[in-house]
Structure 1
Amino acid sequence: MAKKRFLTQLANNVFICIVSIIMFVPPLLILFNSVKPKSDAASMNFAWPSSWEFSNYSFVIEIGNLMQSFMNSMFYTVGAVGLNILFCTMAAFVLSRRKTRVNNFMYFFIVLGIAMPVNHISLIKIMQMLQLMNSGIGLILIYAALQVPFSVFLIYGFVSSVPRTLDEAAIIDGCGSFGLFFKVIFPLLKPVVVTVMLLNFLVVWNEFILPLYFLNSSELWPMTLAVFNFFGRYDSSWNLVSANIVLTSLPVVIAYILGQKYIVAGMTAGSVKG
């Protein structure tokens, strides 16, 4: 029995190692070819470069206009995530604490948005009516709104695990509605808030279709469109394209590494009643 368990664990570990190696091959290939000369990177393999060209990164930053697109991406991402967290935490708190028929309907109506596709034609018409086309603010509002269903779904489950006795104690101590939420409840939501922030950060940062539809000016483009435009100009220079991809992916990788423990905690904490 012990031998069978050992062999099963060994087989699982070997399988996990093989899958991990397969998953690491593409990013390592991109990273390795980003420091090669153009002729060496043309074949896109793991062959040792004839020379290490770290100047590829400085060239990409200067010619690819990555600094401006980086600031644009940060502006859109921080703005969208901030708005989303602010309104979704308040909405989830109210819907979780006041479980009336109307609120229950509203919760399921909001969560239904997770499975509903985006109607880009109607959205474009609405943005044109509000004069938000080709606007960074308009793109932030779209980003924040599209992440509402998933954010409310996660936060709702976590808020339900927070004891109601805390609400009663805060009200007895003289807290109003906003004081109760921001001083008592919101600090307790740190695990799920960080989780939602990170997941929304990954989605917004990597978004390509929405800015392509709603931003006409290249000065407003985020990094995803900058990479697309750069690839169109230097599609034969795989070393430069690889360097561009590395620089664009770096903020996402750093954010995920720093917050991966919060993602696991936030996804599971709401499933257990406290």
Structure 2
Amino acid sequence: MYSSISSLLCIIFSAMAAYVMGRNKTKFNRFLYLFIIMGIALPLNYFTLIDVMKWTHLMNTQAGIIVLYMVTQIPFSIFILYGFIGGVPKELDEAGVIDGCGPIRLFFSVIFPMLQPAAVTVFILSFLNTWNEFLLPLYYLNSAQKWPMTLAVYNFFGQFQQSWNLVSADIILTILPVIIIYLLGQRFIIAGMTSGSVKG
């Protein structure tokens, strides 16, 4: 649930942001793009983020961890989609406007279907990164009932007993979805990573 919902939201918001910044190449949008993709390299400040989560009442909530998963994947997602949108002809925008499309309908009916290779790439990479995330749920989910599978292994460790058979089963169940999704989507990852780099 965490990985799927956060990845879908990440695709929608990243694609809309990349489209606006890619089509309206003003100085402000260029600065905004560079500012956002700085998040790829800059580390999270977990202590400040705890205060923000408490202030927004998202601490120890499923909605809060989904939002955190989403925003941590947005910089890299915008980086991929921004380069891909540069290869989408602007004539499609003009044709959509002539046919009576508003901004929202233009994006979702004309532009977004053209972004399928990059969107699938973003979804797969975001899903894998979210699934493997360990620190965010550890810090921001205090209830074991809300932990994702990567943290569920702690439920089988106690002060006086460790259930290694259950630990091994949990690890296998945690690894299998990642392997399956990667094997099914590796061709989309390669296509999406390279499609935005060549124009013409």
Normalising by structure 1, we get a TM-score of 0.70
- In structure 1, the residue matched to 2:174 is 248
- Calculate the aligned-residue CA RMSD, in Å: 1.4
- Tell me if 1:200 matches 2:137: no
User: What CA distance in whole angstroms lies between the structure 2 residues aligned with 1:176 and 1:272?
Assistant: 29
- Tell me if 1:82 matches 2:82: no
Say if 2:60 and 2:141, in contact at 8 Å, map to a contact too. Answer: yes
Which one-letter code corresponds to 2:22 in the other structure?
S
Which one-letter code corresponds to 1:78 in the other structure?
S
- In structure 2, the residue matched to 1:64 is none
Label 1:252 to 1:169 Cα distance change in 2 as closer, same or farther (>3 A): same
Query: Following superposition of structure 1 onto structure 2, how do residues 90-239 of structure 1 map, counting pairs within 5 Å?
Result: 90-231=16-157, 235=162, 237=164, 239=165
Deviation at 1:228, TM superposition (A): 3.1
Which is greater in Rg? 1
Number of equivalences = 199
Identity, % of aligned positions: 57
Which one-letter code corresponds to 1:83 in the other structure?
L
Specify every segment of 5 or more residues in structure 2 that has no aligned partner in the other structure, as ranges: none
Say if 2:37 and 2:78, in contact at 8 Å, map to a contact too. Answer: yes
Specify every segment of 5 or more residues in structure 1 that has no aligned partner in the other structure, as ranges: 1-74
For structure 1, which segment, 174-183 or 114-123, has the greater mean C-alpha deviation from structure 2 after superposition?
Answer: 174-183
3-state SS of 1:147 partner:
helix
Deviation string, structure 1 residues 106-133 (Cα, Å, up to 9, x no partner):
0000011111100000000000011111
- In structure 2, the residue matched to 1:35 is none
- Displaced runs of 4 or more, over 4 A: 231-236
3-state SS of 2:197 partner:
coil
For structure 1, which segment, 97-106 or 75-84, has the greater mean C-alpha deviation from structure 2 after superposition?
Answer: 75-84
